[in-house]
């Protein structure tokens, strides 16, 4: 399966989805004008990955900021990861947030309540990128 890689831009996050390298990460800011168009290939890649997922998937969300339409796309991604988890593959979502950003932490906690997959909440010291 070919990796899906997008470089970070002003309005869009860096995305690295690589089954072979066991790397699943979205980082940066996300407020694209056409959110659905931007994330459609990501969702398609995840759907294909779900058909033959690795035994373990650690998915890393390292978003500094995202808009409400991105929130909907994150939830769609999480639903796919939840399905992978429910068929017996181990999935863990790693939700990073700046230690001073309570809103980002709470957003992750809300997502964690919506799906059946384990979350890890990782605080970052301001200006730290894990």
What pLDDT does residue 130 have?
A: 54
Instruction: Report yes or no on 129 lying in a domain.
Output: no
* CB-based contact 97:123 (threshold 8 Å): yes
Instruction: Report yes or no on 130 lying in a domain.
Output: no
| Dihedral angle of Cα 106, 109, 114, 120, to the nearest 10 degrees | 150
What pLDDT does residue 28 have?
A: 97
What pLDDT does residue 13 have?
A: 98
Instruction: Report yes or no on 53 lying in a domain.
Output: yes
Instruction: Report yes or no on 115 lying in a domain.
Output: yes
**Residue 118 maps to which CATH number?**
3.30.750
Whole-model pTM above 0.85? yes
Q: What is the mean pLDDT of each run of 10 residues along the chain (130 residues)?
A: 97 98 98 97 98 98 97 98 97 96 96 97 76
- Using only the alpha carbons of the chain, give its radius of gyration: 14
What pLDDT does residue 125 have?
A: 85
Number of domains in the chain: 1
Of the candidates 6, 1, 45, 56, the residue with the CA atom closest to the CA atom of residue 27:
6
Instruction: Report yes or no on 112 lying in a domain.
Output: yes
Phi then psi for residue 54, to 5 deg, are -60, 160
Q: In what order do the strands lie in the sheet with 4-6?
A: 4-6, 14-18, 23-30, 56-66, 90-98, 119-124
State which residues form the domain around 85: 4-124
């Amino acid at each position: 399966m070919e990796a899906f890689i997008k470089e970070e831009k002003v309005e869009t996050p860096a995305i690295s989805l690589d089954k072979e390298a066991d790397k699943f990460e979205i980082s940066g800011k996300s407020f694209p004008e056409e959110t659905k168009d931007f994330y459609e290939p990501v969702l398609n890649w995840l759907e294909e990955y779900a058909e033959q997922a690795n035994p373990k998937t650690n998915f890393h969300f390292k978003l500094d900021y995202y808009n409400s339409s991105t929130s909907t796309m994150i939830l769609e991604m999480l639903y796919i990861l939840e399905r992978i988890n429910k068929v017996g593959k181990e999935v863990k979502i790693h939700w990073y947030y700046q230690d001073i950003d309570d809103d980002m932490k709470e957003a992750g906690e809300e997502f964690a309540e919506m799906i059946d997959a384990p979350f890890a909440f990782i605080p970052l010291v301001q200006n730290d990128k894990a």
